[in-house]
Amino acid sequence: MFFLLDVNQVLCELELTIQRVKVTTTPDGKVLDLFFVTDKLELLHTKQRQDETCEQLHAVLGESCISCELRLAGPEYECLQGMSSLSPVIADELFHCEISDKEIHSQALSPDMMKLKRTDVMIDNSLSPAHSLLQVHCVDHKGLLYDVMRTLKDCNIQIAYGRFSLVTNGHRDLDLFIQQKDGKKIVDPEKQSALCFRLKVEMLHPLRVIIANRGPDTELLVSNPVELSGKGRPRVFYDITHALKALGICIFSAEIGRYSTSDREWEIYRFLLEENCKFQLSNMMARNQIVDTVRRTLMGW
């Protein structure tokens, strides 16, 4: 099912945003893909835009594409937009805020995660009469500025100006002069601590990647926080399918959905993986390699 990556690439080039996906394999070996998309150009209701989309998909997929059509997702599709429930154990591993050295979570075993733990965040009010200086020292990764900006936006923090250093030994320094929504500095120690903690969590957990059993099957799960505006992280689905294609792992089914916890909403990507001769999915080393490759692709490492 490597063409998932090809479909994703076409939709990205056409500026169509994937909101949800349902991918299923039928007993006769055929695949039915349902992509729930929105159009950044807001032209998908026109015949020209629909024809252009189908033509490009047919051109990329070739004879493997039996049919392609676009239609408005009405009430009859609501039952297909839900997501299977998560077990409490899986939910805890995907959404917990901290990882201690003693934890047994699969993410805690990765050296990459240990690197991310070395994030320093501090606020200095001595250098500007009108702004607080937010200083961040962390491991560089794809989407770093996005993670910092969305976190500050969700916390109602305004940025007046800032400076971003070049990457040095895999790390980057950010100096941001910030204010609260009311235009004042952040002088309350509790507010300072809360903001620094939130940023550290986001640097530690920009994305969570795990593999778990789902009945007799093996499932790859990736989660990322949703902005308060309702927007999800860009290009996650593309990067995951790109990593799985590079590993030669086929996808039996895939789905994207939203999951709400007590304090925020998450976007969840779930993939049922097919066994092959290279990766015995019951083997822990193989699972760790898959998680590591997917995470590195998502993080740009």
pLDDT tens string 31-81: 777 888 888 888 888 989 998 998 888 888 888 888 888 888 776 555 555
Residue 218 has pLDDT above 60, yes or no: yes
Q: Of 138-142, 172-176, 256-260, which gets the smallest average pLDDT?
A: 256-260
Q: How far apart are the first and last CA of the chain?
A: 25
Question: Quick one: pLDDT band at residue 153, thresholds 50, 70, 90?
Answer: very high
- Tell how far CA 10 is from the center of its chain: 19
Contact criterion met (CB below 8 Å) for 36 and 81: yes
68: helix, coil or strand?
coil
What is the predicted pLDDT for the residue at 158?
95
Give the strand pairing for 132-139 and 120-124: antiparallel
pLDDT greater at residue 19 or residue 293:
293
CA angle (45, 40, 227) in 5-degree steps: 130
pLDDT digits (tens, 9 = 90+) for 13-33: 888 887 777 777 777 777 777
Which of 30-39, 186-195, 235-244 has the highest average model confidence (pLDDT)? 186-195
Query: Across residues 148-156, what is the average pLDDT?
Result: 93
**Percent of the chain at pLDDT above 90?**
33
Q: Among 193, 241, 247, 251, which Cα is nearest to 218's?
A: 251
Q: Model-level pTM?
A: 0.78
Confidence grade of residue 99 (pLDDT, cut at 50, 70, 90)? very low
Least confident of 145-149, 179-183, 215-219, 280-284: 280-284
Angle, vertex CA 168, rays to CA 167 and CA 172, nearest 5: 50
CA distance 73 to 81: 10
The arithmetic mean of pLDDT across residues 163-167, rounded, is: 89
117-204 sits in which CATH class? alpha beta
pLDDT over 90 at 261, yes or no: no
CATH 3.30.70.260 region(s) of the chain?
117-204
269 three-state secondary structure: strand
Q: Which residues pair with 16 in a beta bridge?
A: 39
What whole-number distance in Å separates Cα of residue 195 and Cα of residue 170?
24
Per-residue pLDDT, 277: 57
Say yes or no to pLDDT of 119 above 80.
Answer: yes
Quick one: what percent of the chain has pLDDT higher than 70?
A: 88
Q: Cα separation of 203 and 44, whole Å?
A: 36
The mean-pLDDT minimum among 107-111, 141-145, 150-154, 282-286 falls in 107-111
Phi, psi (5° rounding) for residue 140? -75, 140
